[in-house]
């Protein structure tokens, strides 16, 4: 296969398959092939006036009996009532989740402007996204500071991708659209019709405007889907002439490219495949389609009854396309409902009976839309480096106390609470263990304990200082002394800080009282684990 041909067939197919969920023959006088090829071509073209809204979501159908059994098992294993209640609440919230983009706009320079919301059982988390050739700005409702990410040379903006595939050099070009149409016409043209499909004239609301459309509705179940896959592979493997024409058209497309695009795409006339190479590619592709069909049949036979359970009639796919007189898809809706096979309780790791995926999209034009500006970086914006250096408590404090996301993180996920375990010397001979004094009191390794709370510790010449972000305390200790300075004020502990094998130790009651934490032996732990906890 010619190098240039190899380079472009694969990405063309990838773009096609990402952009086109299905294809069909003409229905009710509507040429669906043309509609879907046009949709595929949109993936490499930009209309600044075009606005899109999209929603993707899922619903989980729990097996209530197994779910209750799991929660009862957790209760028997000693989990407290608060944990059980929290698990029930989280499962309820995750039963229905959706991600919505209210308005998405792009321009010929690769700038993007969008707003949307993540919706789940607890509520909505709105956000706003703004992208240009060098920066991505994300603003989340309740966040005190926006996030700015430097994307220069990372994303396919402004027709190029530094260090990436030259395919992105075709973005927003007539040549790129022509290539996608050529390849899409072949692969979409062989997609079989779903068993149930109909088209009728209708009037629907699109972005608040009644619009006359042709409404195409299609349905199929899991069993039918399993039958369409081999039918599609058979259609591809039998159309030798169609495949040869498509490859010749792609070769001609490469030859006709302007020289500047050939340079960007790293192709020249010398790399064009000869007739013999095209014929070799045709044979390889047809053999590949046949091999895929054989592997499909073998997998089906090997799966046996499991295949019928997976591709069952209770699994359904519904799609609705709304096409205007210009053959533009103005609205799209799809629903995939998957019915999972029954599993014995011991093997049901996730107690689900099934789930539903939904996708909706609307497209319209705003002729008077304002141009998308470049990203204006706020002075107090966070960068990725800032995020990487944040502690857990620091991340929580990025959000307003009365915001939904703060309440979710603090009260539901309890991310500001801390717990970790230390072990005695008999178990932790290679790390700093805890010790039990003759009085029965516990001695903790200061550095390891503070690092368990994500505190930065400086230890030099018998002096140790740290800042505990959660309690806003800056403290300084000295080995051999019971005096401690906290935010500049001197305090006296019940015991001095001591050194054991060159490591600074403090009595647990002194150190943990300062930090607002507590400790207890882990019940039933033969290794003597000491649980340290802080609940903020």
Alpha-carbon dihedral angle through residues 169, 174, 175, 181, given to the nearest 10 degrees:
110
Of 300, 317, 334, which residue sits at a domain end? 317
**Nearest alpha carbon to residue 207 among 436, 54, 20:** 54
What pLDDT is recorded for position 352?
A: 82
Whether residues 151 and 283 share a domain: the answer is yes
Backbone angles phi, psi at 141, to 5 degrees: -60, 130
User: What b/e readout covers 112-138, taking b as 16+ CB neighbours within 10 angstroms?
Assistant: bbbbbbbbbebeebbbebbbbbbbbbb
Whether residues 422 and 310 share a domain: the answer is no
Q: Report in angstroms the alpha-carbon separations of 292 from 193, 230, 234.
A: 20, 9, 10
Let me know if residue 305 belongs to a domain. yes
Residues in the chain: 536
Are 362 and 348 in contact by the 8 Å Cβ rule? The answer is: no
Could you please report the per-residue DSSP string of 455-501?
-EEEEETTEEEEEETTTTEEEEEEBT--EEEETTEEEE-SS-BEEET
Let me know if residue 402 belongs to a domain. no
Whether residues 150 and 267 share a domain: the answer is yes
Let me know if residue 242 belongs to a domain. yes
What pLDDT is recorded for position 25?
A: 56
Q: Report in angstroms the alpha-carbon separations of 146 from 149, 248, 326, 412.
A: 10, 50, 41, 23
Of 301, 317, 333, which residue sits at a domain end? 317
The CA-CA-CA angle for residues 486, 491, 496, to 5°, reads: 105
Could you please report the per-residue DSSP string of 295-363?
HHHHHHHHHTHHHHHHT-TT-EEEEEEEE-TTS-EEEEEEEEEEEPPP--GGG-SS-EEEEEEEEEEEE
Let me know if residue 102 belongs to a domain. yes
Whether residues 313 and 424 share a domain: the answer is no
- Edge-to-edge, what's the strand order for the sheet holding 418-422? 418-422, 530-534, 518-521
Joined together, the tokens standing for residue 442 give: 């516990």
Of 274, 292, 317, which residue sits at a domain end? 317
Phi-psi region of 207 (alpha: psi -120 to 50; beta: other; left: phi over 0): left
Alpha-carbon dihedral angle through residues 298, 303, 307, 310, given to the nearest 10 degrees:
-120
Whether residues 426 and 309 share a domain: the answer is no
Are 444 and 422 in contact by the 8 Å Cβ rule? The answer is: yes
Q: What is the residue-level pLDDT of the chain in tens, covering all 536 positions?
A: 444 444 444 334 333 333 344 455 566 677 777 888 877 777 666 777 889 999 999 999 988 887 777 777 766 666 667 777 777 888 889 899 999 999 899 888 888 999 999 999 999 999 999 999 889 999 999 999 999 998 875 544 444 333 445 556 666 677 888 888 888 888 888 888 888 888 899 999 999 899 999 999 999 998 888 888 888 889 999 999 999 999 999 999 888 888 888 887 778 777 788 889 999 999 999 999 999 999 989 988 998 888 888 888 999 999 999 999 888 889 999 999 988 877 655 444 678 888 999 999 999 988 888 899 999 999 899 998 899 889 999 999 999 999 999 999 999 999 999 999 999 988 887 789 999 999 999 999 999 999 999 999 998 888 999 999 999 999 999 999 999 999 999 999 999 999 999 899 999 999 999 999 999 999 889 899 999 999 98
Let me know if residue 204 belongs to a domain. no
In the numeric block, the tokens 């302007």 are attached to 258
The HSE-up count of residue 25 (CA atoms within 13 Å, CB side) is 7
Let me know if residue 355 belongs to a domain. no
What are 199's strand-pairing partners?
A: 216
Could you please report the per-residue DSSP string of 17-52?
HHH-S---S-BTTB-HHHHHHHHHHGGG---TTEEE
Let me know if residue 367 belongs to a domain. no
- Edge-to-edge, what's the strand order for the sheet holding 435-436? 435-436, 442-445, 503-507, 498-500
What pLDDT is recorded for position 72?
A: 76
Whether residues 12 and 137 share a domain: the answer is yes
Let me know if residue 324 belongs to a domain. no
**Nearest alpha carbon to residue 88 among 75, 99, 78, 98:** 75
CATH number at 517 reads 3.30.457.10
pTM of the entire predicted model: 0.78
Cα–Cα dist 269/401, whole Å: 64
The HSE-up count of residue 176 (CA atoms within 13 Å, CB side) is 23
As for how many domains the chain has, the answer is 2
Q: Which domain holds residue 504?
A: 418-534
What pLDDT is recorded for position 168?
A: 60
Are 153 and 147 in contact by the 8 Å Cβ rule? The answer is: no
Whether residues 312 and 435 share a domain: the answer is no
């Amino acid at each position: 296969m010619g190098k240039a041909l190899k380079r472009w067939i694969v990405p063309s197919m990838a773009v096609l398959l990402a952009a086109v969920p299905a294809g069909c023959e003409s229905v009710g006088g509507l040429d669906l092939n043309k509609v879907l090829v046009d949709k595929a071509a949109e993936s490499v073209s930009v209309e600044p006036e075009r606005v899109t809204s999209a929603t993707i979501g899922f619903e989980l159908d729990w097996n209530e009996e197994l779910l209750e059994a799991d929660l009862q098992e957790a209760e028997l294993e000693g989990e407290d009532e608060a944990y059980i209640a929290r698990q029930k609440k989280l499962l309820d919230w995750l039963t229905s989740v959706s991600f919505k983009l209210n308005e998405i706009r792009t321009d010929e320079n690769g700038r993007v402007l969008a707003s949307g919301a993540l919706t789940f059982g607890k509520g909505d988390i709105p956000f706003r996204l703004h992208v240009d050739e060098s920066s991505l700005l994300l603003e989340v409702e309740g966040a005190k500071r926006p996030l700015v990410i430097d994307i220069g040379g990372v994303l396919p903006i402004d027709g190029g991708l530094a260090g990436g595939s030259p395919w992105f050099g075709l973005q927003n070009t007539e040549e790129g659209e022509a290539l996608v149409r050529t390849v899409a016409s072949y692969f979409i043209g062989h997609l079989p019709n779903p068993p149930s499909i109909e088209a009728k004239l209708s009037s629907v609301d699109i972005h608040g405007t009644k619009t006359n459309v042709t409404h195409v509705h299609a349905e199929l179940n899991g069993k039918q889907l399993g039958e369409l896959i081999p039918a599609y592979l058979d259609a591809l493997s039998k159309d030798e002439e169609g495949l040869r024409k498509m490859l010749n058209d792609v070769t001609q497309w490469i030859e006709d490219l302007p020289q500047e695009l050939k340079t960007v795409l790293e192709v020249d006339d010398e790399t064009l495949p000869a007739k013999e190479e095209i014929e070799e590619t045709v044979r390889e592709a047809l053999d590949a389609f046949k091999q895929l069909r054989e592997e499909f049949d073998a997998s089906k036979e090997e799966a046996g009854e499991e295949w019928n359970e997976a591709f069952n009639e209770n699994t359904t796919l519904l799609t609705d396309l709304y096409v205007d007189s210009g053959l533009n898809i103005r609205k799209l809706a799809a629903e995939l409902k998957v019915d999972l096979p029954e599993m014995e309780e011991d093997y049901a790791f996730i107690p689900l009976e099934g789930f539903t995926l939904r996708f909706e999209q609307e497209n319209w034009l705003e002729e008077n839309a304002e141009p998308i500006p470049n990203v204006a970086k706020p002075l107090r914006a966070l960068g990725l480096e800032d995020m990487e250096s944040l502690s857990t408590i620091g991340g929580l404090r990025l959000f307003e106390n009365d915001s939904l996301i703060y309440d979710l993180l603090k009260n539901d996920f309890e991310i500001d609470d801390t717990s970790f375990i230390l072990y005695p010397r008999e178990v932790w001979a290679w790390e700093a263990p805890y010790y039990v004094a003759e009085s029965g009191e516990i001695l903790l390794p200061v550095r390891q304990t503070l690092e368990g709370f994500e505190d930065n510790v400086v230890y030099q010449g018998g002096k140790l200082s740290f800042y505990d972000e959660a309690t806003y305390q800056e403290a300084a200790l000295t080995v051999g002394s019971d005096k401690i300075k906290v935010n500049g004020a001197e305090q006296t502990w019940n015991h001095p800080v001591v050194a054991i094998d060159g490591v600074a130790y403090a009595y647990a009651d002194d150190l943990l009282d300062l930090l607002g934490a507590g400790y207890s032996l882990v019940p039933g732990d033969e290794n003597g684990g000491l649980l340290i906890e802080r609940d903020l």
